């Protein structure tokens, strides 16, 4: 029990602030209850408002700096009228106040006690109590030139009718939400928000500087911005004040594996997991602060799962395609001496990927042929891709399937081939290339760059080297320039930014497929 001498004006101000806070749904209102206190002392035309006005701070200044957008003017006036007409017994029921308002009451009593043991605590002492803390309201008042010491002196000079002090016993323990619970929640939110921000920066730096993935870097940058907006909008400023780094047990608990990192990619993947975990914790404990904040964290968490999937898939396909530079498309018709001899010569010359592209072959024969190519390529350590037919690719245990713009989507093909197989997509514009990456393609075919001997296109469908340059400057997913590329034209394609190319006639139509392959690989470096 605490015996305090508190004026009726202070009690009315505290009760009004409490009711305003209950009814206010604005960000400022949720962030700092002292905003409601500041509104209350002006609405009640208290001693505190007299002092503020004498020192140049008006109610208009307060409403402009700390608007209560969750309350209409008519609602504020209705609440004010209720408090002014409240019975004395109702006004004295301080047990309804939350921990922060009770703390301000205690501080107001301490301020009054320093001035005189017989003086009652009023709204002027409440103002000094606010100025003695570090909050957005006190910071704003300090910027206006107000200091606790100056106001303490001002209190002694004030005149006017006095209100008889009333001694009341009350317990400074909130009934509904203990301050200790608030502190625990704020500490948990603070720790996980820091972990989230740090993890995002680690993953973003990897995407930006290690793998130079423009799209992922942009997505992560936008994601960081949304996290910042959500935390600024919904979390209390007192969250940082609740931080206790020296007392945090987690700072001294480590495991040996925590300092073992084999590669930048491993670091990025580990931090991606931490981001998801942090968002889940923020979502759960954020429910105690703001339902809207919790919902935003849930939405961010699901969005990050997609970003994480893009990253992991990129790393996996990067490993499979890391050294792949030369991609050969073959058909039985283009191999007068048979598929077997030509594929073996190309593999001996250094080809990295073989695609079986048969449009008119029966399914039974296509399956048999694909299984043979699979045997040859597996023995040589060369990737094997089937064109268009995801089902045939699975039957032959190929490394993947390649689809065009008018064929199965990446999503549909993925349902057939699963997560371990590669999916390539033909693209003819930068927009199609971007979409293929978003859809989850493991690699792209970019073209046709030149007139092709194996495929017919309209003259307006050739993309030339401009698309090659655009893709080279933006797309980090592995891609192969394709369409009419031979040894002579390969030089200009490489100069345009291509590091991988797909060919057909350049090898299939050569007198010496092995030598032709070797020369193409040499130009590619």
**Would you name the residues annotated as active-site residues?**
357, 426, 455
Instruction: Report the run of H or E that residue 30 belongs to, with start and end.
Output: helix 27-31
DSSP 206: I
What are the angstrom distances between the C-alpha of 23 and each of 16, 78, 98, 117? 11, 12, 14, 36
Tell me the two tokens of residue 103. 């703390």
- Cβ atoms of residues 308 and 315 within 8 Å: no
| CA distance readout (Å), 276 to 227, 281, 293 | 13, 9, 16
Which 3 state secondary structure label does DSSP give 87? coil
Beta bridge partners of 330: 356
**Cβ contacts of 124 within 8 Å, gap of 6 or more:** 46, 47, 48, 51, 151, 154, 155, 158
Strands 443-446 and 422-427: parallel
Q: Which H, E and C letters describe 55-82, residue by residue?
A: CCCCHHHHHHHCCCCCCCHHHHHHHHHH
245-248: long-range contacts at Cβ-Cβ below 8 A with a sequence spacing of 24 or more? 248/191
Crossing angle between the packed helical segments 148-157 and 99-115, to the nearest 10 degrees: 60
Residues 6 or more apart whose CB falls under 8 angstroms from that of 258 comprise none
CB 131, CB 100: distance < 8 Å: no
């Amino acid at each position: 029990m605490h015996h305090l001498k508190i004026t009726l004006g202070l009690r009315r101000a505290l009760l009004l602030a409490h009711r305003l806070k209950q009814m206010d749904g604005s960000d400022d209102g949720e962030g700092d209850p002292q905003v409601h206190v500041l509104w209350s002392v002006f609405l009640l035309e208290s001693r505190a408002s007299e002092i503020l006005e004498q020192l140049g701070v008006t109610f208009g200044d307060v409403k402009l700096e700390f608007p209560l957008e969750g309350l209409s003017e008519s609602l504020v006036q209705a609440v004010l009228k209720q408090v002014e007409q409240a019975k004395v017994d109702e006004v004295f029921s301080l047990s309804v106040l939350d921990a922060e308002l009770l703390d301000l009451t205690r501080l107001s009593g301490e301020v009054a006690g320093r001035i005189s043991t017989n003086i009652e605590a009023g709204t002027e002492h409440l103002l000094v109590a606010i100025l003695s803390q570090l909050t957005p309201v006190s910071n704003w008042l300090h910027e206006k030139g107000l200091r606790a010491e100056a106001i303490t002196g001002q209190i002694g000079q004030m005149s006017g009718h006095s209100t008889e002090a009333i001694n009341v016993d009350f317990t400074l323990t909130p009934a509904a939400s203990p301050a200790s619970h608030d502190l625990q929640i704020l500490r948990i939110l603070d720790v996980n928000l820091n972990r989230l921000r740090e993890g995002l920066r680690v993953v973003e730096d990897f995407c930006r500087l290690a793998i130079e993935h423009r799209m992922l870097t942009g997505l992560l940058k936008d994601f960081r911005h949304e996290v910042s907006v959500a935390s600024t909008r919904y979390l209390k400023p007192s969250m940082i004040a609740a931080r206790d780094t020296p007392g945090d047990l987690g700072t001294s608990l480590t495991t040996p594996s925590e300092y073992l990192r084999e590669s930048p990619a491993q670091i990025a993947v580990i931090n991606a997991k931490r981001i998801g975990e942090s968002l889940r914790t923020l979502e759960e404990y954020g429910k105690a602060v703001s339902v809207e904040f919790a919902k935003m964290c849930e939405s961010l968490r699901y969005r990050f799962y997609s970003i994480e999937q893009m990253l992991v898939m990129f790393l996996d396909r990067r490993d499979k395609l890391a050294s792949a530079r030369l991609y050969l498309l073959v058909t039985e018709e283009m191999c007068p001496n048979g598929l077997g001899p030509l594929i073996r010569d190309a593999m001996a010359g250094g080809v990295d990927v073989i695609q079986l592209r048969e449009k008119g072959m029966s399914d039974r024969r296509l399956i048999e042929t694909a299984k043979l190519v699979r045997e040859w390529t597996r023995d040589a350590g060369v990737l094997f891709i089937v064109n268009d037919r995801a089902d045939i690719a699975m039957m032959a245990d190929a490394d993947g399937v390649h689809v065009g713009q008018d064929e199965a989507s990446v999503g549909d093909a993925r349902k057939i081939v699963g997560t371990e197989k590669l999916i390539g997509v033909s693209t003819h514009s930068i927009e199609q290339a971007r979409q293929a990456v978003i859809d989850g393609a493991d690699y792209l075919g970019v073209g046709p760059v030149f007139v092709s001997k194996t495929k017919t296109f309209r003259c307006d469908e050739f993309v030339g080297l401009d698309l090659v340059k655009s893709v080279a400057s933006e797309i980090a997913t592995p891609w192969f320039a394709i369409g009419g590329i031979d040894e002579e034209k390969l030089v200009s394609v490489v100069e345009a930014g291509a590091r991988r190319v797909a060919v057909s006639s350049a090898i299939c139509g050569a007198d010496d497929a092995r030598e032709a392959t070797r020369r193409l690989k040499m130009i590619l470096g």
